Amino acid sequence: MDIREALYTTRAMRRVKPDPVPEEVQARILDAAVRAPSGGNAQGWRFMLVDDKEQIAKVAALYSECIDMLWATVYKDQVDHANSSDDAVARKFRKMMNSVTWAQENFDKYPLLLFAFDQFDTTGGSIFPAVWSAMLQARADGVGSSLTSVLMFKNDETLDVLGVPKEEGWRMSACVPFGYPEGKWGVAPRRPAHEVSYRNTWGTPVGFEIDEPLWP
Amino acid sequence: MDIREALYTTRAMRRVKPDPVPEEVQARILDAAVRAPSGGNAQGWRFMLVDDKEQIAKVAALYSECIDMLWATVYKDQVDHANSSDDAVARKFRKMMNSVTWAQENFDKYPLLLFAFDQFDTTGGSIFPAVWSAMLQARADGVGSSLTSVLMFKNDETLDVLGVPKEEGWRMSACVPFGYPEGKWGVAPRRPAHEVSYRNTWGTPVGFEIDEPLWP
């Protein structure tokens, strides 16, 4: 697969089938992940694949609680707006909520989870390139994924389920459920790059406009 | 370019030529960046391309101070070890130091910098996939890059140079210098995936071994 197709079509794919992800695909996912850069090339990371049904069920229960907490805290205003309005913002948010609610109700059927852990990465810059490489490599094999940090709401409980030695400073950076998509791949709509980009100083236009995605 | 070639050969490329990066390549870099996922698809990011020589010189001066601070703090023990030993760890660290010192001495000659900013991203998970996508897209166009968060040591000064409205909560996540490589692309050596990966619980072997990179 062309790099550009992967970069443009690896969107959050929460609705996936319960079919297992073959071991050779899992190996390619992890091997791609460790090729990513990390600060000082320290590679201060650990990865965990979870495909045991009982383990996934335990994580699913925690994920469900965390999503309820997410709506009630970080996204409270947006949820209230989405439930009481029908403008573009409300519709976009309801669409995202529906997708997340699907994940909440079906989390125990995900065939494979990837957890990423870091030890001393204060910015995330030494772990999320690896996580994103894992997701892009999965895409190349037709496997969908979505990245969530929501389990942070139940951080200690999640680390306990996975047996993570917190006393050594290992922290959970992300959980990525994988699976073969129910739906189709496509380019996700985004605010155009020139609307969120500047040149040389804040507020100065970047100098070009990109009205349509530059791929395909 | 195949996705796998990009994932395996986009290594930290600090030694680059001063030749400018064409505008169409810059546009592809930014357009790829905004396709990345972000929490709740909030896209709470801003990007800044810096190609003005005076601005780059100001950042270069700050970068140089930050690198000195990095060796004297975070990496003090490793620097001491690298300067007093000749084992594999010391040699690997000296190689990385040489590369960073090249960047320190030549930063003002980089033709293009990308800064990424986020507003409410506590984990980095909503900005570093976009930064890494930018670097992978650049790779597809033959442009090298390296990711640094070291300017955090002079965070306020850097934000002031770039005119970032700190009062609105915008934070610098990363600085990525771009340019056409002096050297060759290649697969960076890494600790094998199975040595840093577990299955289902911490410490349980992942179930396969990957002794050689799975690409090419």
Instruction: Give tens-digit pLDDT for A125-181.
Output: 999 999 999 999 999 999 999 999 999 999 999 999 999 999 999 999 999 999 999
The pair of three-digit structure tokens given for residue B132, joined into one six-digit string: 């890494």
Give first-to-last CA distance, chain B, whole Å: 13
pLDDT at B73: 95
C-alpha A95: how far from chain center: 17
Question: Chain A residues with CB inside 8 Å of B200's CB?
Answer: 48-52, 55
Cα B113-B114-B115 angle, rounded to 5 deg: 120
Band of pLDDT at residue A208, cut at 50, 70 and 90:
very high
Average pLDDT over residues B73-91: 95
Please compute the mean of the pLDDT values over residues B55-77 and round it to a whole number. Answer: 97
Nearest CA in chain B to A186: B35
Q: Is the dihedral of CA A91, A93, A99, A103 positive or negative?
A: negative
Q: Which residues, 6 or more positions from B43, have their beta carbon under 8 angstroms from its beta carbon?
A: A190, A191, A196, B34
In the predicted model, what is the mean pLDDT of residues B64-91? 96
What residue type is assigned to position A21 of the chain? Answer: V
Closest by Cβ to A193, choosing from B31, B147, B196: B31
Q: Which residue of A has its CA nearest to B97?
A: A40
Interacting residues of B49 by C-beta distance below 8 A, sequence separation 6+ = A197, A198, A199, A200, A206, B26, B30, B112, B113, B114
Find the residue in B nearest to A120 (Cα).
B74
Mean of the pLDDT values across residues B142-169? Answer: 97
Q: Residue B120's pLDDT is what?
A: 80
The complex's ipTM works out to 0.97
| Contact in structure between B30 and A205 (CB atoms under 8 Å) | no
**CA–CA distance, B127 with A193 (Å, rounded to integer):** 14
Average pLDDT in the A62-86 region? 96
Whole-number mean pLDDT of chain A? 96
- CB contact (8 A) between residue B47 and residue A128: no
Q: According to the model, what pLDDT value does residue A120 have?
A: 80
A195 has pLDDT over 80 = yes
- Residue among B134, B155, B107 nearest A123 (CA): B155
A27, A133, A197: residue with CB nearest B30: A197
φ, ψ for residue B66, nearest 5 deg: -65, -40
Report in angstroms the alpha-carbon separations of A140 from A15, A144, B210.
Answer: 18, 9, 19
pLDDT score for B149 = 94
Q: Smallest Cα–Cα separation from A7: which of A193, A205, A152, A194?
A: A193
From A112, A114, A156, select the one nearest A18 (Cα to Cα): A112
Partners of A210 on chain B (C-beta within 8 Å) are 27, 30-31
Q: Which of these, A177, A153, A147, A145, lies nearest to A67 by C-alpha position?
A: A153
* Measured distance CA(B196)–CA(B194) in Å, rounded: 5
Suggest the residue from A78, A123, A187 to mutate for an interface test with chain B (most B CBs closer than 10 A): A123
CB pairs under 8 A between A and B: 265
What pLDDT score does A9 carry? 97
Burial of B169 (0-12, 13-18, 19+ CB in 10 A): exposed
3-state SS class at B203: strand
pLDDT category at B188 given cuts 50, 70, 90 is confident
Residues of chain B contacting A23 with CB distance shorter than 8 Å = 207-208
Q: Helix and strand tally (H, E) in chain B?
A: 7, 6
Is the Cβ pair B123, A43 closer than 8 Å?
A: no
Give the E-state strand segments of B44-84 in sequence order. 45-50
* Topology adopted by domain B3-205: NADH Oxidase (3.40.109)
pLDDT of residue A175: 98
Q: Is A97's Cβ below 8 Å from some Cβ in B? A: no
In the stretch 36-65 of chain B, residues with CB closer than 8 A to chain A read 36-37, 39-41, 43, 45-52, 55
Q: What is B133-186 written as a DSSP string?
A: HHHHHHHHTT-EE--B-GGGGGHHHHHHHHT--GGGT-EEEEEEEEE-BSS---
Domain ranges of chain B: 3-205
Percentage of chain B exceeding pLDDT 70: 100
Tokens 């204060």 locate to A122
Is the model's pLDDT at B208 over the cut of 90? yes
Model pLDDT, residue A122:
80
Smallest Cβ–Cβ distance between A125 and the set B23, B136, B174 belongs to B174
Give chain A positions within 8 Å (CB) of B75.
Answer: 40
**Do residue A37 and residue B147 have CB atoms under 8 angstroms apart?**
yes
Determine the pLDDT at residue A201: 98
Whether residue A149 contacts residue A173, with contact meaning beta carbons closer than 8 Å, is answered with yes
- Give the pLDDT confidence of B90-143 residue by residue, as tens digits: 999 999 999 999 999 999 999 999 999 999 878 999 999 999 999 999 999 999
Nearest by CB to B52, from A35, A78, A200: name it.
Answer: A200
Q: What mean pLDDT do residues B44-69 have?
A: 98
